Amino acid sequence: MSEKTLSIIKPDAVAKGVIGQIIDCFASNNLKIAALKMIHMSKREAQGFYAVHSERPFFDSLTDFMSSGPAVVMVLSGENAISKNRELMGATNPAEAAEGTLRKRFATDIEKNAVHGSDAPETAREEIVYFFPELEIVNF
Ligand code: ADP
Ligand code: MG
């Protein structure tokens, strides 16, 4: 089933200059880019995006990091896009991420872990509308 998911190339990966390598990985795994933009989130925007984690001890540090520099937000589209993207990303903690995954290749640590991907259809819908109005998303 064709799905859409939200992907973010986080500020650490943008700073490392690996936007192209990450996009290449999506392209070579049949995930198409249905929307894409570079943004620099404010602290408040990062807090809104990660509101589900607001009670976690790492929330303040995480939202500082996410608002520390530019990030690339994308809608990826394709067969099982949500789980496929999660597989390509690897585990949250890069120390536990499988060889060849984006987090294994590019993450710094469990917080600065290079990429975000939605984890389920409902969160994908919510996260996509957080960043993209309907008009900015193409349908293949
Ligand atoms: P994922 O991004 O794999 O879905 P979570 O939803 O659990 O992971 O966490 C959201 C983000 O919060 C992670 O990608 C990471 O940047 C950060 N994070 C998660 N766990 C920790 C932790 N124990 N310490 C610091 N940051 C964390
Ligand atoms: Mg998550």
pLDDT at residue 16 in the model: 98
pLDDT at residue number 52: 97
**Ligand 1 proximity of 87 Cβ (cutoff 6 Å):** no
Angle, helices 81-89 vs 19-27, to 10°: value is 130
Query: In which residue are the tokens 């984006």 written?
Result: 102
DSSP secondary structure string, 73-122?
EEEEEEETHHHHHHHHH--SSGGGSPTTSHHHHH--SSSS-SEEE--SHH
Does ligand 1 come within 6 angstroms of the Cβ of 71?
no
**Residue 140: per-residue pLDDT:** 80
- Residue-wise pLDDT for 101-136, tens only, equals 999 999 999 999 999 999 999 999 999 999 999 999
Rounded to an integer, what distance in angstroms lies between the CA atom of residue 7 and that of residue 74?
A: 5
For residue 1, the model assigns a pLDDT of: 84
Rounded Cα gap, residues 13 and 19, in angstroms: 7
Mean pLDDT score of the chain:
98
Q: For residue 120, what pLDDT is reported?
A: 98
Digitized pLDDT (tens) for each residue of the chain, 140 residues in all: 899 999 999 999 999 999 999 999 999 999 999 999 999 999 999 999 999 999 999 999 999 999 999 999 999 999 999 999 999 999 999 999 999 999 999 999 999 999 999 999 999 999 999 999 999 999 98
CB 25 within 8 A of CB 93: no
Take atom 5 of ligand 1 and give the residue whose Cα is closest. 92
Which among 68, 113, 123 is the best mutation to test ligand 1's pocket, defined by most ligand atoms within 8 Å of the CB? Answer: 113
Residues lining ion ligand 2 (Cβ < 5 A) are 119
Annotated catalytic residue 116: yes
Distances (CA, A) of 59 to 8, 46, 117: 17, 10, 17
Q: Is 113 in the pocket of ligand 1 (CB under 6 A)?
A: yes
Location of structure tokens 């570079």 = 38
Burial of 119 (0-12, 13-18, 19+ CB in 10 A): middle
Q: How far is CA 44 from the centre of its chain?
A: 18
Ligand 1 binding pocket includes 115 (Cβ within 6 Å)? no
Of the residues 116, 118, 127, 132, which is catalytic? 116
Helix (H, G, I), strand (E, B) or coil at 36: strand
